Amino acid sequence: MKRACGIILFFVASAVLAQERSPVTSAVKEILPHQQKNLVAAVEEMPAEKFGFHPTEKQMTFGHLVLHMIESNNYLCSRVGDTPEITAAVPLKQSDGKEKLVEALKASFDFCTAALGKIDDSRLADEVELFGGHTGSRAFALIALTNDWADHYSSAAMYLRLNGFLPPTAQPKR
């Protein structure tokens, strides 16, 4: 029993120490599972026949929003983690259907988890390629990534509500 407690304390102390040394990347790594859970649940909540829905002609369809989430995760996490971007043998389309898009969204979050596992705060000042051929710090890319997750959830929640569904964070606890 004492040995098990000692091992547990070692792992807790190691996690706390890692967070103290890399508070920024540790925070993003802590945010990821929560955002992953909510974004995947929001996409799963929307019925397949509503993936073509868009509130106005100028707004993207829900399927396009999901495709955008996947592409954004893959692009930014590859830049943040200095890892080659994952590319499908056949490029995804917004019309690929709910099942395929949900699977790709989950895979994009798995990719982000792996990519974030390769970095710490010692590399925050490194220059990385960003959208539109611009460059910025790895710290900027990390902040953009968490902002994207919040923005994407907000959009998905709005699309769900416009179709009479509650987003995951508004549903009663089960």
Q: What are phi and psi of 129, to 5 degrees?
A: -75, 135
Q: Identify whether 16 is part of a domain.
A: no
116-146 pLDDT per residue, tens: 999 999 999 999 999 888 999 999 999 999 9
Size (the chain), residues: 174
Q: Identify whether 13 is part of a domain.
A: no
CATH assignment of the domain containing 28: 1.20.120.450
Q: Identify whether 107 is part of a domain.
A: yes
pLDDT of residue 8: 62
Amino acid at 76: L
pLDDT of residue 21: 87
pLDDT of residue 15: 52
Q: Identify whether 152 is part of a domain.
A: yes
48-105 pLDDT per residue, tens: 999 999 999 999 999 999 999 999 999 999 999 999 988 877 899 999 999 999 999 9
Rounded-to-integer distance, Cα 174 and Cα 41, Å: 14
E-assigned strands of 32-157? 127-129, 135-137
Q: Identify whether 11 is part of a domain.
A: no
Total domain count, the chain: 1
Three-class SS state of 37: helix
Domain hosting residue 39, numbered range = 23-170
**Better-scored residue on pLDDT, 4 or 122:** 122
Q: Identify whether 10 is part of a domain.
A: no
> What is the model's pTM?
0.86
Q: How many CB atoms lie within 10 A of CB 2?
A: 6
Q: Would you say residue 46 has pLDDT above 60?
A: yes
pLDDT of residue 90: 80
Q: What's the Cα-to-Cα distance from 10 to each of 14, 15, 17, 49, 158, rounded to whole Å?
A: 6, 9, 10, 50, 44
1 pLDDT band, cuts 50/70/90, is: low
Asked if residue 24 lies in contact with residue 141, where contact means CB atoms within 8 angstroms, the answer is no
Q: Which of 5-14, 67-76, 108-117 has the lowest mean pLDDT?
A: 5-14
Asked if residue 136 lies in contact with residue 127, where contact means CB atoms within 8 angstroms, the answer is yes
Q: Identify whether 4 is part of a domain.
A: no
pLDDT of residue 10: 52
Q: Identify whether 50 is part of a domain.
A: yes
Q: Would you say residue 2 has pLDDT above 60?
A: no
